[in-house]
Homo-oligomer: A and B are copies of this chain.
């Protein structure tokens, strides 16, 4: 069974974490037929942690987990911290395929998305 884990930074603001959870819910609907399970986890300040998120997926039968960092830039969190968290669970479950995907900020489609947000102001045709 293939699972997807969206990994966000986590915030003291409950609303920010809930925003990630809502996005994950929408993603789950969209990813139907590709990933049997789509959940989120947080690097800090919110639950579940990345190891706990991975363990939950494995407990539910995932044999492969794709981890997508919900980050805009390749800072320390993306380059060092997230891989280290994943490594903890890889050691616990060497039989499970845990794959780190490129972070969201690296997606070529981001410029198109920025442009869409700008055009949404509806102030572009005057």
Contacts and interface: CB of A to CB of B under 8 A. Distances in A.
Interface stretch (A26-34, A48-56, A87-95): A26-34
Nearest to A13: B75
A101 B74 contact: no
Interface string A1-20: 01010101001010110011
Contacts of A111: 23, 26-27, 30
Looking at chain A's contact residues, the main secondary structure is: mixed
Copies in the complex: 2
A107 B115 contact: no
A68 interface: yes
Nearest to A122: B99
A101 to B, nearest CB: 5
8 contacts: A6-B114, A8-B72, A101-B120, A102-B117, A103-B117, A104-B117, A109-B109, A109-B112
Interface of A: 2, 4, 6, 8, 11, 13, 15-16, 19-20, 23, 26-27, 30-31, 34-35, 64, 66, 68, 70-76, 97, 99-107, 109-121, 123-124, 126
